[in-house]
Copies of this chain bind each other. A is one copy, B any other.
Amino acid sequence: MSRLAVGVDVGGTKVLAVLVDRSGALLAEARRATPLDGIRDAPGVAVVDEVALALADLAAAAGTDLTGLPLGVGVPGMVSHAGVLTFGPNLHSATGADMTKLLGIRLRGWQATVANDADAAAFAEHRLGAAQGEDEFAMVTLGTGIGGGIVTGGRILRGRRGYAAEIGHMIVDPSGPRCPCGRRGCWERYASGAGVARLGREAAAAGRLPALVALRGDAEFVRGEDVTHAAAAGDKEALAVLDEVGWWLALGLANLAAVLDPGRFVLGGGLIEASTLLLPPARRHLTGLLEAGELREPIEVVAADLGAHAGAIGAALLSQER
């Protein structure tokens, strides 16, 4: 195991690169914007190019050449065991790309370990964060969509092809709104940042959030962050929207519990950072939505420890495992 490692988290909006030591401590970081999600080049080429530039930035920030260090790269979507992004609804330009191969071509002297971004975050939270000591847990990252990482028996559950823990695409209401994945009523339409925005616009259109409508000029332009800010300031109707989002969040957690029976749920991602107001309603509704919720031991629902760095740190740690 190398003393140092590099991790990269490719998100829908930014590419974050970190240098960590073997304890996972952050030594340097660099970030760049994720290239616009059009299909300019062959799938994955633009993204991999940006990863290479982020690594150059990281080397400059660290003041040393990093070439050849263990390198892990987390990407959002269905990542095969071999590192092909079979489907990336939040990274369309790389759908179908053999990320392992492209990174090998673009980054001479490196050999990348490619993983799902939320799997990487789960690995980091297990090793260093909010899931330490719990070998049965599910990581739920709430951003624009919902990502997942599942640990059972202390190991990441990846499934037959590597596509496990695509939990944002559990269907929770078959007649629900369309999802970018092409189907209807996926969990991430309700309990993610997109869900806060959608349910917030519905509340605004129903006349329940007049201050936000005044702020944006029309209910259609109300944003998710408007709702979380108003809720943080004590607006009762905004808090009611977050309560509804919390109910949907709890519904999905209950479905995960029916399949996995974890000892703990670790909630991360930008939405949790934006509003810890989601956790109390999710906890409150979970008991009623769990099978035998009043008879069984409760399942902990906690916030992630490592915040926005979890995915990148986890990718670095995963690269040291190979």
Contacts and interface: CB of A to CB of B under 8 A. Distances in A.
A78 B292 contact: yes
Q: Top 9 A-B pairs ranked by shortest CB distance? A: A159-B261, A160-B263, A87-B292, A164-B261, A163-B261, A136-B160, A169-B291, A170-B255, A166-B258
Contact of A86 (B89, B256, B288, B296): B296
A32 B96 CA distance: 55
A171 B254 contact: yes
Interface in A171-185: 171-175, 181, 183
A87 B290 CA distance: 12
A150 interface: yes
B172 A86 contact: no
Contacts of A258: 166-167, 169-170
Nearest to A263: B160
Tally of this chain's copies: 2
Contact of A261 (B153, B158, B296): B158
Nearest to A299: B160
A40 interface: no
Interface string A231-275: 000000000000000000001001111111111000000000000
Contacts of A159: 136, 152, 260-263
A155 interface: yes
A107 interface: no
A165 interface: yes
Nearest to A294: B182
Majority-rule SS of A interface residues: loop
Given A171-B254, A173-B174, 20 more contacts: A78-B291, A86-B296, A87-B292, A87-B295, A89-B291, A95-B295, A152-B152, A152-B159, A153-B153, A153-B155, A161-B297, A162-B261, A163-B261, A163-B291, A165-B259, A166-B291, A167-B259, A170-B258, A171-B251, A174-B251
Given A153-B153, A153-B155, A296-B86, A164 B291 contact: no
Contacts of A288: 183
A114 B291 CA distance: 20
A157 interface: yes
Contact of A289 (B183, B255, B297): B183
Contact of A172 (B174, B256, B261): B174
| Max chain B Cβ within 10 angstroms of own Cβ: one of A166, A259, A296 | A259
Contacts of A89: 291
B261 A160 contact: yes
Nearest to A166: B258
